[in-house]
A and B are shown apart, each in its own frame.
Chain A
Amino acid sequence: MIRRLRRLPGYVFLSVFALFSVFPLYFMVVSATNSSADVLDSRLLPGTQLLENFAKLFAEQDVVSAMVNSFLIAVGTTVLSLLLCSIAGYGFEVFHSRAKDAVLAILLLAMMIPFAATMIPLFELFANAGLVNSLIAVIVPTIATPFLILLFRQATRSFPHEIIEAARIDGVSEVGIFARIYMPTMRSTYAAAAVITFMTAWNNFLWPRVILINNDVQTMPLLISNLSAGYVTDYGVLMLAVLLASLPTMVIFLVLQRAFAAGITGAIK
C-alpha cells in the first residue's frame, strides 16, 4: 500500500502530461467530424459531418496519390537512411581514431546550417541532373544525416567491444560482424531511428514543395497546404486531411513501439 502511495505523484504527473499531449489530438479527431463553422466555434463534441468532409476532400484533392507519394518517400528515406547512417555511426565508434573523430566533428557542422540557405544550390544540382519532379530528388538530400550518424555512434558506445573482438577471433568479417551481430542487437536503436526518420520524411515540407513541381508527385503536407490556401477554408475538411496525414506516422510509431517494449522487457528479465 505504501509502495502504491509512493507512486501516486508519478501517476498524477503522467496523467497531467498525457492529457496535455492528447487533448489537441482529440480536438483534431473531433474536428474532422464537424462542419467548418463548428470547428471555428471550437466545438469539442463529435459531429455528423465526417462523411461529407470525406466526400468533399476526395472530390477536391487526389488524396490517394498524395498518400502513395508520401509513403514512397518516407519508406525510401527511412530504409536508406538507417542503413547508411548506422554503418557510418558504427564505423566512427568501432574503428575510432583521431582522424575519424575529426571527420565526424566536421560532418556535424552540416547539421547546423539552416536548410533554406542550401536549398538553391541543391535545386541547381538536381535540376542539372534532370531530377526535378523525381522522388529521388526528394529523398537523396535527406538520407545521410549527421544526426542519425551521431545517434548510432552514441548508441554504439554501449555495444560491448568484447563481442566484436571475439567475433574477429572467430574469423567473422567486419561486414559480417556489423550485419549479423550488430544490427540485430541494436534493434531498439534502429526502431527509434526508423520512427524518427519516417516522421521527418513524412512531414518534410520545404524541400518537396520546391523540387516537386507537378501535381502528380504531390505529397500529403503539400496537399494540406493547398487546402488552406484559398479565400475560403473548410476547416472540417482540413482537419480530416490532417488526421489522414497523421495516421501513418502514428501507426508506424505504434507498430515499432513493440520493438522498444520487447527490448525493455528483455532487459528487466
Chain B
Amino acid sequence: MSTDVADRTRRAQPGARKPPAPDPAINRNRPWLTEGRRRSLTGWGFLLPAALLILVMSFIPMFQAFVLSMKTGRGTNLEFAEPLWSNYARLLSDEVFKLTLQNTFIYLIIQVPLMLILALVLANLLNDPHLRWKGFWRTAIFLPCAVSLVSYSLVFRTMFANDGFVNDALLGIGLIDGPINWLGQPETARFVIILGLLWRWTGYNMVFYLAALQNIDQSSIEAARMDGANAWQTFWHVTVPQLKPMILLTAIISTNGTLQLFDESWALTRGGPAYSTMSMSHYLYEVSFLKNPNFGYAAAISFVILVLVAVLAFVQMKVGDKRD
C-alpha cells in the first residue's frame, strides 16, 4: 500500500458515513434508476467489453467444439456419432489416453505443490527488508520464464544428454557409476520434465507472491516479530494468511496450466519414451494434427480436460476462498 493511498484513506474516514437507510414509505415514489441500480448497471458496463470478447473468442468456439465432440469421422467427413457420447466412451478404452491422464496427474501432484512452496519461500526471503542484492536474486530467479521454449528445451536436452553436463557432474562427484539415460527412461524423463517446469515457472509464481506481499500490511509482520515470533511462525501465521487470495489464484492457475500442459511435453521429450511423458493436451494435439485427424475425438479429450480443471478449481475455491 503506498503512502498516497494511505493519505486518501485517512482523509476519507471522517466523511465516510453510510448512505441513509432507505425509508420504505418513500420507496414507491423513487425513480426506477435508483442509486443501487445505477451502480449495478455501471458494474455491468465495466464487465461487458471483456465478457463479450470472451463469449465470442472462447465460448462460441467452445460450444462448437462441444458439438464436434459428439461427431465422429476422419478429416472433414464428420457425422453425428451413434450414440452421441461414443467419443467419450472411447476414451475409457484408450490405453494411450489413460497413460497421458496418469502422466498429467503425476506432474500435477508432484510439481504444483513443490513449485508453489518454493515460490512462497523465495518470495518471503526476497521480501526481507534486510536482504542484500535483492534485485539480483529476483531477476535471476524470474528470468527463466522470459526465455522462449526452444532454447529452454534445447538447453535442457543438452544438459541431460548422455555425455552432458549433468551426467558429467554426477560422475565427477561419484554419485553414479555410469551415465544415466535421462530422457530415455520413463521415470527419469518425467523427472526432467518436472525439473523443467520448476525451472521455468517457480520465478513466475514468486513474482505473484512478491506483488501480493507489497499489498499486505508490513506492520503486522513487525508486530509479530516484536511479540517474539520466529521467522517461521511469522511466515506461517502472519504472512501466509494474508497471501491467501494470491495463493488460491496461483494454485488454480498452476493446476489449469498443468492439466493443459503441452509445451514441455512437446519440446523436451516429444512425449516419449513410449508415451510415458506425454500430457493430455499433447495427445489432443497429436490426434488433431500429427496423426490421422480425428477432431471429434480430440474435442472430447478437450472437454475431459475442461471438466477436470473445473472440478479441481471448484474444490480449491471451496477450500481456500472463504470470505471471512
Contact = CB atoms under 8 A, between A and B. Distances in A.
Interface stretch (A45-53, A54-62, A254-262): A254-262
B61 A239 contact: no
A100 B47 contact: yes
Contacts of A103: 47, 51
Contacts of B150: 221, 224-225, 228, 238, 242
B62 interface: yes
B266 to A, nearest CB: 10
B111 to A, nearest CB: 15
Contact of B151 (A13, A91, A246, A268): A246
Contacts of B59: 110
B161 A42 contact: yes
Contacts of B313: 108, 112
**Main SS of chain A's interface residues?**
helix
Contact of A267 (B155, B218, B231, B281): B218
Nearest to A243: B151
Interface string B17-41: 0000000000000000000000110
A24 B47 contact: no
A166 B11 contact: yes
A189 B246 CA distance: 12
B135 A97 contact: no
Given A84-B49, A158-B215, A264-B213, 17 more contacts: A10-B125, A24-B151, A24-B156, A27-B158, A88-B50, A90-B46, A91-B45, A97-B43, A107-B54, A117-B301, A158-B1, A178-B46, A184-B4, A185-B4, A221-B150, A239-B154, A264-B127
Given A107-B51, A113-B65, A154-B249, A7 B214 contact: no
B53 A24 contact: no
Given A118-B61, A121-B65, A87 B5 contact: no
Interface in A146-204: 146-147, 149-151, 154-155, 157-158, 160, 162-163, 165-167, 169, 174, 178, 181, 184-185, 188-189, 191-192, 195-196, 199, 202-203
A263 B246 contact: no
A264 B131 CA distance: 13
Interface stretch (B95-103, B139-147, B176-184, B186-194): B139-147
A20 interface: yes
Interface string A247-259: 0011011100100
Interface residues of B, number: 113
Nearest to B314: A105
A162 B12 contact: yes
A94 B45 CA distance: 12
Interface of A: 3, 6-7, 10, 13-14, 17-18, 20-22, 24-25, 27-28, 39-40, 42, 44, 84-85, 87-88, 90-92, 94-95, 97, 100, 103, 107-114, 116-122, 125, 140-141, 143-144, 146-147, 149-151, 154-155, 157-158, 160, 162-163, 165-167, 169, 174, 178, 181, 184-185, 188-189, 191-192, 195-196, 199, 202-203, 205, 220-221, 224-225, 228, 235, 238-239, 242-243, 245-246, 249-250, 252-254, 257, 260-261, 263-264, 266-269
B57 A141 contact: yes
Contacts of A252: 146
A151 to B, nearest CB: 7
Contacts of A149: 50
B125 A25 contact: no
B306 interface: yes
Interface in B77-130: 118, 121-122, 125-130
Nearest to B126: A14
B233 interface: no
B13 A162 contact: yes
B69 to A, nearest CB: 9
A48 B225 CA distance: 54
22 contacts: A10-B131, A21-B203, A22-B140, A25-B143, A25-B144, A27-B155, A42-B158, A91-B47, A92-B47, A100-B44, A100-B47, A112-B313, A119-B61, A158-B216, A166-B11, A185-B2, A199-B146, A205-B149, A221-B149, A239-B151, A242-B154, A260-B207
Contact of B61 (A122, A147, A160, A235): A122
Contact of A163 (B9, B139, B156, B288): B9
Given A17-B122, A117-B65, A154 B245 contact: yes
Contact of A88 (B49, B161, B212, B245): B49
Contact of B285 (A6, A20, A116, A163): A116
Contacts of B288: 116
A238 B141 contact: no
